[in-house]
Amino acid sequence: MTAKVLAERYEVQRQLGKQTGRQTLLARDLQTQELVVIKQLFLGSDFEWQDLKLFEREAETLKALSHSAIPRYLDYLEIDEPDNKGFALVQTYVEGKNLEDHLRSGRTFSESEVKQLAKSLLEILIYLHEQNLPVIHRDLKPSNILLHSRSGHSVGQVYLIDFGSVQNQAAKFGGTITVVGTYGYMAPEQFGGRSVPASDLYGLGATLIYLVTGLHPTELPQQDLRIQFADRAAHLNPDVIDWLEWMTEPSLDKRLSSAEEALRSLKNPRPTDKIMALQPQCSDIKLTQTSELIKIIIPPQGVGFGLIAIFAGWIPANLKLLLEFVDGRTYPVLNLISIIWLVTVLAMFICALFRESCLRIDRQKISYTSHLLGLKWNNSMPIPRQDICQLEIEEIGDKASQMIVRAGNQKYRLGVKQGLSKSEIEWLATEVSQWLGLKIIRTLTDGKKKISM
């Protein structure tokens, strides 16, 4: 079968991709014998003039760019054949496999590789954003990033492709704004038709989150438009997690503003309020953390002075009644009261010696349970994890505090009642804060009044 030749020059080898009104072909340039990529836009029933505008803008953009990690413009064709009318953009062929395909095949990326990839892509973005008319890619995602020649611990050569959604500063002021991009990788401002260099940073951040979690950004929970991924990236250095959160900050005012700044911050992490708290000495609390859950087990409090005082006060007050009860000389009601008091005090002793408390947060829910001699019961009703909305440390006077996790209308408290010290509360709150990705809110209780700190 004779291979199809376009413009009497480009011999089609195979189809690389296809979507409505478009296709991408791998071809051989018969003049240079080099492989090239041909992107075609068809003039069919689904044709829209906005599509042609973006297609021509991609061609003009590539013509003006010269970077080893970006496909090079070669030719632009008008195709007028009986069964094929439209336009074609010819560009250099980049050999490699895109990140989406790597992930689908089961490849994982180490922290070192993620940082190498981020560095290479930021250098490409610096080049694009520093053009006389800054070029904003607007569709930075795994399928538009190619890797080639991976070796050892090197991620290999990184390429950024598909400039079909590109916007430059001239186009920005050209009238109608078209919303383009891919859901999950689009910065919030793009939904309103606004794109700035920091929009590409959001796309890069969301792409890297996909790499470290194995989940598309739309598969991860969100809180106030922030992607909640930290619990699935526990293997990363906290500085890298903080940097990714900064890259994907929904608010433009709070996001990293330029690729240069992002690269500097990757190399030199910003100081954060994430304190690496250590477990206080002499603390018997058991803390378990994985990507799936965080679990805090509080051991039995033991018999304290208050309980001893209650028991010591009970004995002289009730010893005479007990002796009279043995001789049958007391009233039944008094005997019953005395026995109830005895059972209550003994129960308090047993709980103090053997009851454990457990606060557990996993992907599904938050729960707070007690465990005593093989028995288990809920101290508070379990609540879905997505309802967790606030983490608080409440200072109670100078010597006591408690940690409060708010989920819906429920409050889960750890503090004085569990025999926890202020240093243990600080440690636990810091760990829970980092695992949930929630900032600690501090309040002060002065009598009946609660004051934000």
Confidence of residue 45 (pLDDT cuts 50, 70, 90): confident
Mean pLDDT of the region 110-139: 93
Q: Which CATH number fits domain 358-452: 2.30.29.30, 3.90.1150.10, 3.40.109.10, 3.40.640.10?
A: 2.30.29.30
pLDDT given at position 173? 40
Helix (H) or strand (E) holding 221: none
Quote the pLDDT of residue 99: 93
When the pLDDT of each residue in the chain is averaged and rounded to a whole number, the result is 83
Task: Quote the pLDDT of residue 243.
Answer: 94
Q: pLDDT tens digit string along 338-382?
A: 666 666 666 666 766 778 889 999 878 999 998 887 888 888 889
69-98 mean pLDDT: 90
Domain ranges of the chain: 5-92, 97-267, 305-354, 358-452
**pLDDT (0 to 100) of residue 328:** 55
Average pLDDT (96-109) is 90
- What are the two backbone dihedrals, phi and then psi, of residue 74, each rounded to the nearest 5 degrees? -120, -40
Looking at domain 5-92, which of 3.30.200.20, 3.30.70.1070, 1.10.150.130, 3.20.20.30 is its CATH number? 3.30.200.20
pLDDT tens digits, one per residue of 228-275: 998 888 788 888 999 999 999 998 888 998 999 999 999 988 765 444
Most distant pair of Cα atoms in the chain: their distance: 120
Beta bridge partners of 73: 91
DSSP reduced 3-state for 214: coil
Give pLDDT tens digits for 178-202.
Answer: 556 688 899 999 888 888 999 999 9
**Residues near 329 by Cβ (< 8 Å), separated by ≥ 6?**
none
Q: Is the Cα dihedral 241, 248, 405, 444 positive or negative? A: positive
For residues 210-226, average pLDDT: 91
Whether 231 is catalytic? no
Mean pLDDT of 119-127: 97
Choice among 17-26, 158-167, 302-311 with the minimum mean pLDDT:
302-311
Confidence of residue 204 (pLDDT cuts 50, 70, 90): very high
Give pLDDT, residue 233. Answer: 87
Residue 35 has pLDDT above 80, yes or no: yes
* pLDDT at position 273: 46
Residue 18 has pLDDT above 70, yes or no: yes
Cβ contact 144:101 at 8 Å: no
| pLDDT of 170 | 46
- The alpha carbon dihedral of 62, 63, 64, 69 has a sign of positive
330 versus 420: the higher-pLDDT residue is 420
Confidence of residue 223 (pLDDT cuts 50, 70, 90): confident
Superfamily name and number for 97-267: Transferase(Phosphotransferase) domain 1 (1.10.510.10)
Residues 23/24/25/26 CA torsion (nearest 10 deg): -170
Task: Give the model's confidence band at 449: pLDDT under 50 very low, under 70 low, under 90 confident, else very high.
Answer: low
Kindly name the residue from 29, 51, 139, 200 that is annotated as catalytic: 139
What pLDDT was estimated at residue 135? 93
Distance in angstroms (rounded) separating the CA atoms of residues 429 and 416? 14
Choose between 30 and 435: higher pLDDT. Answer: 30
